[in-house]
Amino acid sequence: MTVPQNSDAAILLAGQQTLALEAQALQSLGEQLDDAFVNAVRLILACQGRVVVCGLGKTGHVARKLAATLASTGTPALFMHAAEALHGDLGMLTANDVLVALSHSGSGHELLMILPSAQRLKVPVIAMTGHPGSELAKLADIHLHVRVEQEACPLNLAPTTSTTAALALGDALAVATLQARGFNQEDFARAHPGGALGRRLITRVRDIMRQGSALPTVAEEASVAQALMEISKKGMGMTAVLDTSGRAVGIFTDGDLRRLIEAQGDIRQVPIKSGMSPSPQHISPDVLAVQAASIMDERRISQLLVADDTGRLVGALHMHDLMTAKVI
């Protein structure tokens, strides 16, 4: 019995077949990588300008993504629309650049018209096509073969498997380049300062700690009543207790207050030394804020003091500060 094409079973099967075809194409693509891929990576690494990635239509979308991936992983890159290039955008291309041209057929009129200008500038060209015998492949300095057996489209017409393969090869090119370049987490963070990962990798304690007049402190000669006033005024749920040299000899928190009341009842005249927690944990202002969050989580504390190399108190962190900075 024939299954209707709009039945649940047919819809599920179509999705499964699409993924299977594209997975098989990617496996084959990986097996056919050769010295041309290595040479393409080395050409990009040697580029003194930018990698200009060019395409049109569906491969144009892939080209735009490749340019964005390269730029975010340490390789200056930009996307140039093949049609717009013929009407002025070709001015993006300079003699120090590398041109990466994407076309599944390798015969796109717009891309082929760009090549003479690249040749006049002596710009090396990397072509990514599905046809090594195409004109674009023959004119390029390096050709990366992105051949697929068939499109996932049942009509074998809509670019599906071929664009997936081109997208994956672009990722492979970018990843191999960043690895060869020695691109690391800190480099990634500098390129992504607005992202969650970037904030975690570049935000240091000094960037978000409370300091100056916002820092709750009392002298070690103070009373608990004076400490409570400071806690209420600064709103951190604690105060640091300092000696005459500005070093924290203790910390007095809401938890210390509850324990002191249970033990002594009337605490108004009790010296802060009797209720504080001595030798408090502290951290350097140069440490990553995410490390401070880890310490606070491990010790199950909400506040953490910040001290410089001499041990002098320079700031304090509350868990809310880390949340506000979107470090956690």
How far are the Cα atoms of 79, 145, 168 from residue 158, in angstroms, in the given order?
Answer: 23, 19, 18
CATH 3.10.580.10 in the chain: give the residue spans.
Answer: 205-324
- Rounded to whole angstroms, the Cα distance separating 90 from 108 reads 16
The two beta strands, 125-129 and 98-102, are parallel
Radius of gyration of the chain, Cα coordinates, nearest whole angstrom: 31
Query: What are the strands of the beta sheet with 51-55, ordered from one edge?
Result: 77-81, 51-55, 98-102, 125-129, 142-145
pLDDT tens by residue, 47-88: 999 999 999 999 999 999 999 999 988 899 999 999 999 999
Q: What is the separation, in whole angstroms, between the first and last Cα of the chain?
A: 56
Grade residue 274 by pLDDT with cuts at 50, 70 and 90: confident
Tokens for 317? 């962190």
pLDDT tens by residue, 280-314: 999 999 999 989 999 999 999 999 999 999 999 99
Q: 90, 118 in Cβ contact below 8 A? A: no
Across 134-155, average pLDDT:
92
Q: 22, 146 in Cβ contact below 8 A? A: no
pLDDT tens by residue, 305-314: 999 999 999 9
Grade residue 131 by pLDDT with cuts at 50, 70 and 90: very high
- Rounded to whole angstroms, the Cα distance separating 106 from 118 reads 16
**pTM of this structure:** 0.68
- Rounded to whole angstroms, the Cα distance separating 202 from 290 reads 9
Strand partners, 307: 313
- Return the amino acid letter for 280: P
At residue 233, does pLDDT exceed 80? yes
CATH 3.40.50.10490 in the chain: give the residue spans.
Answer: 8-183
Grade residue 196 by pLDDT with cuts at 50, 70 and 90: low
At residue 121, does pLDDT exceed 90? yes
At residue 6, does pLDDT exceed 90? no
Q: 108, 102 in Cβ contact below 8 A? A: no
- Return the amino acid letter for 319: M
At residue 193, does pLDDT exceed 80? no
- Rounded to whole angstroms, the Cα distance separating 23 from 20 reads 5
Question: Does the 8-183 domain belong in CATH 3.40.50.10490?
Answer: yes
> For residue 263, what pLDDT is reported?
85
- Return the amino acid letter for 5: Q
CATH class of residue range 205-324: alpha beta
Tokens for 264? 């002594």
CB atoms under 10 Å from CB of 327, counted, come to 21
